[in-house]
Structures are given as structure tokens and as C-alpha cells.
Amino acid sequence: MDESRLRNLVRAGQISKIDPRFAKLDVPGTGRLCRVRRDENSGKPYCAFVEPDFSAGYPALPKGRRELYVSLKLLSIPADQLVDNARVKFDGIQLNKKKDDFEVRNLRLA
């Protein structure tokens, strides 16, 4: 078994363990950034939410959710391009650093 397949299996198991309704969301998708939060001192964005394009075939989010969280701290995307309504692509979801919820994986501009 190659490394990427093993990672996918481990990630799927972790997601299902926390909330099985989210397992179907670990697929590539597109969307737009919303609610971009910036540091008060530096003005750099540190997190945002992604509203997936359901019309493009992305699965529906579980009831009560409209968007997916994304951490922007370690991205190589220039800060001036991380604004509300920016079009983005992502590879799926993963557990966040606190391991209590999910976040978008491999975010990039569309």
C-alpha cells in the first residue's frame, strides 16, 4: 500500500470517529472564502470559512453547517488575496489541530 492511500484511510477513520456525517465531505471541491478574520495588530488573516459550491457537485453539509473552517496561518497565499468572496479550491477536509472539529485541507486560490 502506498503512502498516500494509507494517509487517506487514516484520515477517513479519524473523520468517521468524530462525526460519520462528515466522511462524505473528504472530496475535492471549490467555493468562496467568507468571514475572513484578521489579526488586530498586524492585519494578517489567520482564519476564514469556505462556502462550498454545492451546485458543482460538492456533498451537502450536515444540518446546522453552512461552511467549513480553514486556518490561514501557514498558507503561502499573499495576504491581500485572502479576502471575502475570493474563489478557492481545496482537496477535502481533515481534523483540525485541536482534533475536535474539521477544516479544509490544501486550500489554494481558484
* Alpha-carbon distance values, 108 to 31, 78, 100 (Å): 11, 11, 24
Q: Is the pLDDT of residue 7 over 80?
A: no
- Note the pTM of the prediction, 2 decimals: 0.81
Q: Where are the beta strands (DSSP E) in the chain?
A: 29-38, 45-52, 68-71, 87-90, 92-95, 102-105, 108-109
Q: Is the pLDDT of residue 100 over 70?
A: no
Q: Considering only CA atoms, which of 8, 22, 38 is closest in space to residue 101?
A: 22
Residue 64 pLDDT grade (very low, low, confident, very high; cuts 50, 70, 90)? confident
Higher pLDDT, 101 or 81: 81
Domain ranges of the chain: 3-109
Q: Is the pLDDT of residue 12 over 90?
A: no
CATH classification of 3-109 is 2.30.30.240, yes or no? no
